[in-house]
Amino acid sequence: MTNGDVYNEDLISVIMSIYNEKMEWLKASIESILNQTYSKIEFIIVLDNPDNTMIKRVVSDYANRDERIIVVENDKNIGLTNSLNKALEYCKGEYIARMDADDISDNNRLEKQLLYLKKYNYDLIGSKIRSIDESGNVIQKSSNHPVSNNIINSILKYDNCIPHPTWFVKREVYTDLNGYRNLHTCEDYDFLLRCSQKYRIGNCNDVTLTYRLNSISISRSNALKQFLSAKYLQKNYKNIDLINQSEIDKYVNKRTTQNKVENFDKTQLYFKKALVYKEEGEFFKMVLNLILALKTSKYFFERCKNMLFIRTIRLVKR
């Protein structure tokens, strides 16, 4: 498919929320969207930190040079979920693509995902990703996310298997489900569970995005809270519409201590190292770091059990 193709008649809205990302990462992210092979886009950027004047100037400069950019400035920090819902209000495209401010889309991402979604009659798709560290070094060349709707619907009961920064969605899906619910750590997983009950979802069987895995996001993202929140959604997915944040908080707080939080953060770092060693062919070091992760937090052991369930599902339904 090229820019002269009939698919270029469809307007794609790309939504991004910015807070305090590094300038070089932000510029690379924005330019990866502006330089897409598919050009009929609108790029809605929400500034969620009005005090960050440097980011504001940079984004304004891009907007002055490219009329496809729409800048929305929040009066105060309202968080990712509310910022994304705000961005959705500005979308005019038939399709909506997610983008994070520290990731990099392949230049044919939108073109490839639009064609894939239409060809296989999906309503929401993601894609496989490659992972890099803070310096741009490749940690993982390609993720192993499942592709088909049948397998994904089964796996969603155990894990979020469609990377949020790669989402490509029919606008009617967001409209029908009233966007994201304001769940503090699992708004994307909650959306997928709700979506899977009404719509066809899948993953493009190609890498379309470079995902930046950095130590700051690992150590400061409340990883244990995210894990336990996701676990609560999994346990109650059949009644997903009835779940609210207070119920999640009660479940999480009952199972959280400072020591457990610190230990789970350590397992995240061990797991990241294991991925690096796997790419480098250092299998002994990879196994060693996985063992350290298992010994450090019982919750990582639970995560591994889920991974075994997922592996079994993929073998059975292949």
**pLDDT (tens digit, 9 = 90+) per residue, 127-167?**
999 999 888 888 889 888 889 999 999 999 888 999 999 99
Query: CATH number for the 6-219 domain, one of 3.40.50.970, 1.25.40.10, 3.40.50.300, 3.90.550.10?
Result: 3.90.550.10
For residue 26, what pLDDT is reported? 97
For the chain, the distance separating the N- and C-terminal CA atoms, rounded to the nearest angstrom, is 29
Specify the DSSP class assigned to residue 91.
Answer: -
Q: pLDDT tens across 250-298, in order?
A: 999 999 999 999 999 899 889 889 988 988 899 999 999 999 999 999 9
Claim: this prediction has a pTM higher than 0.75: yes
**Highest averaged pLDDT of the listed ranges 98-112, 233-247, 280-294:** 98-112
Average pLDDT, the chain: 91
Residue 307 confidence class, pLDDT cut points 50, 70, 90: confident
Question: C-alpha distances in angstroms, 132 versus 26, 43, 94, 212, 282?
Answer: 15, 24, 31, 5, 18
What are the sequence ranges of the domains in the chain? 6-219, 220-316
Alpha-carbon gap, residue 162 to 145, rounded angstroms: 7
